[in-house]
Amino acid sequence: MSAHALAGALRDAAQMVARVAAGASLAGQFERIAEGGSDTPRAALLDLTHGTLRRYGRVQKIVAELSRRGNPDPQVEALLWCSLYALESGRYAEYTVVDQAVRACRLLEKWNAKGYVNAVLRGALRERVALEVRIGADPEALHQHPRWWVDAARTAYPDQWQQVLAAGNSHPPMALRVNRRRGSVGEYEARLAAEQIAARRVVGDALLLERPVPAERLPGFAAGDVSVQDAAAQRAVPCLDLAPGQRVLDACAAPGGKTAHILETAEVELTAIDSDPERTGRIGRNLERLGLTAKKVASADCRQPAQWWDGVPFDRILADVPCSASGIVRRHPDVKWLRRAQDIPAFAARQGAILDGLWQVLGPGGKLLYVTCSVFPQENEAVVEAFLRRAPHASRLDLADGGPAQWLPGAEHDGFYYALIQKRA
């Protein structure tokens, strides 16, 4: 992106980040951009918005330290946050960022803010050493997570909490899942190498790219030969212990990554449901690209079996339940600022209700895999332990890969939790 185009990118990013600060989701903002169009390349918007929100605690504190205006206009404040990220990213010359941020004020029709934006950004450059000292004692600025989140991570992982938070601020890895109905992992590795895309095997058969690339660049992506899926998420299907002919339910299936993985792995009779009608539509589109067919795809609340269940028990159930998304926050950096501490017990209550509903449709001897992309024990061990205490004939099994239930986010994968529960005959 040219230096001259940076003003427009800062304007668009500031508008999006301002809406997130007011409570909107970042994914929703990108859907608006896709529908309404924008002159700013999507890659540039992804960088500015995600980068800013990963550093949200830091850039907020810097503006608060330098501002003499009290409460600035929300869009102007968001412009400053995005501009500070652009300065610290090293992608642009410092004078270019300052100049283009001032130009962005005009594009935002915030003409009176030009001098203010110029002064704050120049102050950030001039006082950078002193600023580091002043904001260094603030947990939100230092760890770039809300204070309650920092405290929760420290409590849950006394020896690893800083690594967990640091992972949440990092760029996520890009892993691939090869469609076994189309070819082997080794064959696909060779295809990547031919395209000069460096990759290596990590967990199971996941292929981790050395550098992320647009999905469209992946050989055979459009034809369904491969999917983008985090390595930790790929752990789910091997832990289900699938066999041909089984009745399988993917209970919280959207957007369909694990649904597809199930069908790529075994000849089963699969039902996929999700409570969000719009997201449910994505399941069918994903299956179509991969050349796969489920017995049934429907929008339904898995907590209410009477509304959708045909009365025939399932042999396997995958329950990838709604959660805080604290294990994948680097992919969705708005989440850590939209979540509140009180959301965690609310998620736990919903997760428990989902387990209670699904237990009714699991057959004797059947297995249910409980999954979250959370690192908070309140959504994981606490939910499973409470369920085991109240559920008849429930027993917990070891995971097929012999690994721990909780995987924390790291360089190769996101943070996921798994628990396999069997209904005794």
Supply the DSSP string of 367-405, one letter for each residue.
Answer: EEEEEES---GGGTHHHHHHHHHHSTTEEEE--TT---S
The label of the residue with tokens 């005794």 reads: 424
What the block records as the tokens of 284 is 């069918």
Q: Which amino acid is at 136?
A: G
- Rounded Cα distance between 95 and 121, Å, is 10
From the CB of residue 89, how many other CB atoms can be counted at a distance below 10 Å? 14
Q: Give CA separation, 361 vs 277, 296, 300, in Å.
A: 22, 16, 14
> In the 8-state DSSP scheme, what is residue 169?
T
User: Are 144 and 58 contacting, i.e. CB atoms less than 8 angstroms apart?
Assistant: yes
Distance from chain centroid for Cα 44: 19
User: Are 220 and 191 contacting, i.e. CB atoms less than 8 angstroms apart?
Assistant: yes
User: Which residue among the candidates 82, 239, 323, 373 is catalytic per the annotation?
Assistant: 373
> In the 8-state DSSP scheme, what is residue 224?
T
Task: State the helix-helix crossing angle for 6-21 and 94-107, rounded to 10 degrees.
Answer: 70
Active-site residue 323, yes or no? no
The label of the residue with tokens 């041909």 reads: 244
Q: Give CA separation, 252 vs 233, 277, 344, in Å.
A: 14, 12, 18
204: left (phi over 0), alpha (psi -120 to 50) or beta: left
From the CB of residue 9, how many other CB atoms can be counted at a distance below 10 Å? 24
Q: Give residues with Cβ within 8 angstroms of 235, minimum separation 6.
A: 203, 204, 401, 403, 407, 416, 418
Whether cis (ω within 30° of 0) applies to the bond prior to 255 is: yes
- Rounded Cα distance between 387 and 394, Å, is 8
The residues assigned a catalytic role are 373
